[in-house]
Structure 1
Amino acid sequence: MQRESVPYRPLNKSTSQLHGDLRIVSLESEPPYEALSYTWGSSSESKTMQIDKRHSINITDNLFRALRRMRGHLLSRTLWIDAVCINQDDGSEKSSQVQMMGRIYKSATTVLVWLGEYSHPSPSDPWRMRRPHWKDARNSAGLNDRGRRFAVALNEALRDTEPRWHDRAWIIQEFVLSTETLLCFGPITIAYDKLHLMDLMLRLPQHLEYLDAFFQKTSDMVKLSYGVGELQQSISEACLYTSTASCKDDRDRVYSLLSLIDVKEAAIIGADYTESCPCEITFARATYAALVARNDFSILQLVSFKQLSAYSLPSWVVDFTLQQDPTDGQVHRHVTRPVKWPLDGTDDGSSPLTVSLNMKLLMVTGTAFDSVDEVLSLATARFAQTGASAAKIAEDLIPFLLKLFQKRDSRPVWVKCSESLDDLLKPGVLLMAGSRTQAGSIIKASFTVWHDVASPAAIGRDAAYVPFWRCGSDEKYQRTSDIVGTELGWLMDYAAVSSGGANVFTTSTGLIGLAPSTVEPTDRIVLLKNGKLPALLQAVGEHYLFRGFAWVHNANEEVQEKSQDGMLKADSFVLC
């Protein structure tokens, strides 16, 4: 059974001078036009194009090659091209036009994606490659000659265009918002079809690096498009797809997403290419916009404490130039037991978030319910710890926990140090149901041991009391099911991504928690209004540095008890 070919159209090639007429139109009149999506290329603007038969403008080599392929001999073609239609030297015009980019690409009849040239293209290529499918029913696992030529040519075009189209930040909205997308390379034009491309990838006899990267990036953009429908997507989610992109201006990592995010966030961010709005202010506006529009603090989980920034940013501002992964922003989604705000009806009703005019200071509403006492650094990474690494974690953690137990109560604790390490390292204890990583399992087991031994019901029992690690599997599960949430594995990942490692800490009231390695003794543990996880704040004079989010065992019970006793109040914390 043969597969029908996707729509195609040959592109013309000519070596003569490029000419065009520049027209000013209103999008309200719905003019028919095609929009070009391409990469400027690394070369200088060494080619020229005649505009209105009177002016000559400089364009890059890659744009020159694209336009030479796309023009027709007999009929004119109406295109929208950013380098030609926007005065790149006028910051005010650029700021205004950039805010319209989403409408421009969404209103275009077709978005032409120029991927580059390849070696020795032939005028007959559009016909020779028009049906890149597998051979036939008798040999469906292989590609025919057209399919192989198509894949190799596309891979070659992607390889030789620098930077590559799929590495550019602006292409995300250009691709996601288009109603019809045509891939153009050399003389070939073919409709983008994810399933068709997937078939092609599965049947290639060899791995083609650049074609594979192109497929992965466009697949990610298709996923991103699912959240665009009602424009309810936050920049905290969308920015994960531009962190590895290529930008001439780092502000474009934010501005290129304006058409893909919540309209309230986009309105706060705006677009400003003038000198009065450097990257620091753009990133601060974007962070603040997500905080206000989403009414939560989830964007702050993207603040990195381990990667050096090229910019001088406040501790609460996300650096959108640092590489992130789409899974790096997931921790708040997996918090099954958020710490509840205990002071509703007791504050003055003012906005929990305000920012200074220079976008450097952020005032938040919260309540400090505890402070960090002692800290233990764990030899953890983002992925599972096994063997010697797992043993090292338990070996460091057990004496740290025993010290906490003795501090909480002067009576003896039913733990035999000579046996505890060997017993804790048994698979039945470490590999509990629901664990994401073995490291998370060790932490869970240790927390459970702490809860079991240090709780009032456990302390003071006679020698017949059976410790947690001696219990059968059913009793182990019963003891742990209602006291340990499922977010610990995600907190371990968050700590590793944001700071390079995780620390266990104890608090001044005898609680235990897990946090990024930024945590230090005397840090204040603050529950932010509308937050899900406690935040760590480090005092610097009258202000505070944001040092990440933490998991605190029994935090809900602690804040509710202190609230009922009148020990908590809503305060303002100014983050710098």
Structure 2
Amino acid sequence: MTDDDRYTRPHSDYPTEISINPKTQTRILILEPGKYNDPICCSLTVENIPEGARGDFDALSYVWGDWIGCGSICVNGVSNFPVTQNLWRALRRLRREDIYQFFWIDQITINQGDLEERTEQVSQMGRIFQQARRVIIWLGDVEDSSSSWSFGSKSTKNKKKQITKNIMKAVYENPVQNVQPWWTRAWVIQEYALGKELPIIMFGSEQVEWRELMEFSKSKDVDDGPFRTWTKILQSLQDYEYLRKGDQSFFLLTANLANTKTRVPHDKIYCILPSLAPQERALITVDYKRSVSETFCQATWVSMVSSSRLEILGLIDSSLSQRLEAGYPSWMTDFTFPNHEKPLHLLQMEDGKFLTKAHDKIFQPYDSMFKTILRVLFAFEAWEWSWCKKQPKFIAEPIWDASNHQQLVLQGLEFDNISHLVNVKTEMSVSTVMTASGQVQNYMNIIAPNSSSSLTSWIDEKSWKPMERELNDSIQRHITKENPYQRVNEASLQRKGAPYQPPIARKEPLRVFLVDSLFRKWDQTARPKTARKIFSPSVSGAFEFLKLKDDPNFSGRREMTSLMAWGLRTLQQMNQLGNIFFVTSSGFIGLGPADLRMDDKIVLLYGSQFPAALRRTENGNWRFVGFVYVRGIMNEELFECFSDLELKESKFVLE
């Protein structure tokens, strides 16, 4: 049986006599009274969904699961109406013996066979959950349970605490077969955050308020494995609290989506619509007839045009070759985040399995949290500066046409070309780490390399291999003869000049802890003596920041945030995609993704805080390779080092 078969709903008639205007109305399920083992019977009624109104129904937040062993209920006289096994179990537990109950449950209240109705109702889900009396989160049931099953003793002194504890333990020990955990669903973001009240948690026959779950997670009783797991889950969900305020940026919401899953990729976008700022929400229309590529292209463009920034491109976590192989445009953010499951290793060891295992034990449980922080740091919110004084524009004005959805037009400045590439070896041996005291710091300086000279620089030079020494000497000779800042200006104005002559190609990679030394050596030769030091959140730089962070004249705060964002992103790329040290034709040096090629162009796009690498296509358009780090031109460094710089402005048609 294929996945398509498992997740295909069995054919069944729908009570079409209960018709609605899906733009302004919805159906409400009336669950009829009955005992636990009685057949489940219900009917449907129509409810208007006006703005701000409060309904008399509960909204159910749950996981559908697959259709294997599905249950059947009776809806408005339609017998054998199929529902998934997980929902069937929920209805048995929700049903009362004495009263009718009112619910909004998407699997039943939406005619899933009517694509147009489904599309309109998905657009209204935010209002429906806001209108609901309360949201009930159904986490599942134990196998072969009966109506008499319950947690613990009813005479427990602290009943609520015991119920809470048992729910957490039961969910941990009794995962529902073929049903993903509730908290990994993309729709959780909306369903949890948009209810007027904090939700009710239900597992089996027991229920507890969300706030009681949160209180328990902070208590001393969270030492056991199940409770530690729940604590991390609750803490991650608590990050969605700010969504209740609405008017959030698309970038920050989609960054959270990396931790969620959905079988329908479109829902990665549609599930956050109610929390978006109105100007962004108005630009996205729910349409399941569109391809995934078109849906994601529109969402990527909406983020750019609404924020006037290109930060959304920082969420691309696959190589250019992977994007093209998937049939996606190079500039499109894949909101399924295909590489998110790959672990993030801050320090990779060639030997010493014990240290590698220790690292995994300490950091791996928090890997998702680190990656979320990384993405949030990559936001350009506090950034408002242009690349050059003579060309002060810093606002992105992306042009996108849905009729040719794979093309995007951006403006920016042509800066330089890649002329030499060296692989970066990110692994370190245990002996290297133990014998050279400065190398751990230098590895961490890749986060944002420090330009100050120190004892570690001398240690590094002593350990250079022939290829590394030859690379450094070649760079130094070139930038001593012709300053890179002047050279890039002349090249842009189409004057002739001697290009960078790379050393003889070698197979040996550049060891990662020496990148910092090359940056510092480059600073000493290429940058003006009067230029301010490139601030770094390195081990030593952290102490400087702590001393000066309250000084209103200290400019390092912004630098630290942006450079740390770049560095953490670089570390992630090193783990997922590999990394490249490069030299440009004018003699600038930097780091970029592993699939950089010779003659890729470095451009300074309007609306971007980081330079970007673009590649020419056969038809003269461009492909987005990725953001790169170029030493000495970021954070207004071009202003200080070359105030008269004037670069060629161009439009880049990305595809």
TM-score (norm 2): 0.68
Is 1:182 the counterpart of 2:200? The answer is yes
Instruction: Name the structure 2 match of 1:302.
Output: 315
Provide Cα deviations, 1:339-397, integer angstroms capped at 9, x if missing partner: 624377888x9972101323100000111122222222211279x99458959985365
Out of 497, 515, 524, the residue aligned to residue 592 of structure 2 is 515
Instruction: Name the structure 2 match of 1:241.
Output: 256
Instruction: Name the structure 2 match of 1:110.
Output: 134
Instruction: Name the structure 2 match of 1:375.
Output: 421
Are the aligned partners of 1:284 and 1:360 in contact in 2 as well (CA < 8 Å)? yes
1:331 CA displacement: 4.6
Instruction: Name the structure 1 match of 2:181.
Output: 164
Matching of residues 303-452 of structure 1 within 5 Å: 303-306=316-319, 308=322, 311-321=326-336, 322-324=338-340, 325-333=371-379, 340-342=386-388, 352-356=397-401, 357-380=403-426, 386=433, 390=439, 395=464, 397-410=468-481, 443-452=515-524
Out of 543, 547, 553, the residue aligned to residue 625 of structure 2 is 547
Give the letter for the 2:569 counterpart: Y
Instruction: Name the structure 1 match of 2:647.
Output: 568
Instruction: Name the structure 2 match of 1:267.
Output: 282
Unaligned runs of 5+ in 2: 1-32, 341-370, 444-459, 483-510, 531-539, 546-553
Using the alignment, how far apart are the partners of 2:275 and 2:512 within structure 1?
Answer: 35
Instruction: Name the structure 1 match of 2:239.
Output: 223
Provide Cα deviations, 1:306-326, integer angstroms capped at 9, x if missing partner: 494684110100111224431
Are the aligned partners of 1:297 and 1:531 in contact in 2 as well (CA < 8 Å)? yes
Instruction: Name the structure 2 match of 1:501.
Output: 578
Are the aligned partners of 1:176 and 1:221 in contact in 2 as well (CA < 8 Å)? no
1:502 CA displacement: 2.7
Is 1:254 the counterpart of 2:298? The answer is no
Using the alignment, how far apart are the partners of 2:207 and 2:632 within structure 1?
Answer: 60
Is 1:192 the counterpart of 2:217? The answer is no
Using the alignment, how far apart are the partners of 1:175 and 1:350 within structure 2?
Answer: 35
TM-score (norm 1): 0.77
Using the alignment, how far apart are the partners of 2:265 and 2:153 within structure 1?
Answer: 42
Instruction: Name the structure 2 match of 1:71.
Output: 95
Distance verdict in 2 for CA 1:146–1:292, change over 3 Å: closer
Distance verdict in 2 for CA 1:536–1:13, change over 3 Å: farther
Instruction: Name the structure 2 match of 1:128.
Output: 153
Distance verdict in 2 for CA 1:535–1:455, change over 3 Å: closer
Provide Cα deviations, 1:513-548, integer angstroms capped at 9, x if missing partner: 222223322221111112211111111131111111
Are the aligned partners of 1:46 and 1:58 in contact in 2 as well (CA < 8 Å)? yes
Is 1:22 the counterpart of 2:44? The answer is yes
1:289 CA displacement: 0.9
Using the alignment, how far apart are the partners of 1:47 and 1:342 within structure 2?
Answer: 65
Bigger shift: residues 216-225 or 364-373: 216-225
Residue 297 of structure 2 aligns to a residue in which SS? helix
Bigger shift: residues 55-64 or 362-371: 55-64
Residue 69 of structure 1 aligns to a residue in which SS? helix
How many residues are treated as equivalent by the alignment?
505
Using the alignment, how far apart are the partners of 1:12 and 1:87 within structure 2?
Answer: 25
Distance verdict in 2 for CA 1:292–1:147, change over 3 Å: closer
1:206 CA displacement: 3.2
Out of 292, 296, 302, the residue aligned to residue 279 of structure 1 is 292
Instruction: Name the structure 2 match of 1:38.
Output: 62
1:22 CA displacement: 0.8
Are the aligned partners of 2:70 and 2:82 in contact in 1 as well (CA < 8 Å)? yes
Provide Cα deviations, 1:483-520, integer angstroms capped at 9, x if missing partner: 99545554343134345233222222222222222332
Are the aligned partners of 1:22 and 1:52 in contact in 2 as well (CA < 8 Å)? yes
Instruction: Name the structure 2 match of 1:461.
Output: none
1:237 CA displacement: 2.2
Give the letter for the 1:242 counterpart: L
Distance verdict in 2 for CA 1:308–1:259, change over 3 Å: same
Using the alignment, how far apart are the partners of 1:128 and 1:82 within structure 2?
Answer: 35
Q: Give RMSD over aligned pairs.
A: 3.9
Using the alignment, how far apart are the partners of 1:336 and 1:553 within structure 2?
Answer: 21
Using the alignment, how far apart are the partners of 2:98 and 2:382 within structure 1?
Answer: 64
Using the alignment, how far apart are the partners of 1:197 and 1:158 within structure 2?
Answer: 21
Give the letter for the 1:57 counterpart: F
1:559 CA displacement: 7.1
1:62 CA displacement: 1.0
Are the aligned partners of 1:380 and 1:496 in contact in 2 as well (CA < 8 Å)? no
Give the letter for the 2:328 counterpart: L
Bigger shift: residues 499-508 or 147-156: 147-156
Give the letter for the 1:116 counterpart: G
Distance verdict in 2 for CA 1:130–1:272, change over 3 Å: farther
1:442 CA displacement: 5.1
Using the alignment, how far apart are the partners of 2:155 and 2:315 within structure 1?
Answer: 44
1:169 CA displacement: 1.6
Using the alignment, how far apart are the partners of 2:239 and 2:598 within structure 1?
Answer: 42
Distance verdict in 2 for CA 1:147–1:368, change over 3 Å: closer
Using the alignment, how far apart are the partners of 1:371 and 1:132 within structure 2?
Answer: 73
Using the alignment, how far apart are the partners of 1:350 and 1:493 within structure 2?
Answer: 25
Provide Cα deviations, 1:29-86, integer angstroms capped at 9, x if missing partner: 5331100111112343732221223565211111111011111111100100000111
Distance verdict in 2 for CA 1:492–1:520, change over 3 Å: farther
Distance verdict in 2 for CA 1:247–1:89, change over 3 Å: same
Using the alignment, how far apart are the partners of 1:43 and 1:88 within structure 2?
Answer: 14
Bigger shift: residues 175-184 or 490-499: 490-499
Distance verdict in 2 for CA 1:329–1:146, change over 3 Å: closer
Give the letter for the 1:403 counterpart: S
Are the aligned partners of 1:224 and 1:238 in contact in 2 as well (CA < 8 Å)? no
Residue 421 of structure 2 aligns to a residue in which SS? strand
Using the alignment, how far apart are the partners of 1:176 and 1:14 within structure 2?
Answer: 31
1:410 CA displacement: 4.9
Using the alignment, how far apart are the partners of 2:282 and 2:381 within structure 1?
Answer: 29
Residue 107 of structure 2 aligns to a residue in which SS? helix
Are the aligned partners of 1:46 and 1:61 in contact in 2 as well (CA < 8 Å)? yes
Q: Percent identity, aligned pairs only? A: 23
Are the aligned partners of 2:164 and 2:208 in contact in 1 as well (CA < 8 Å)? no
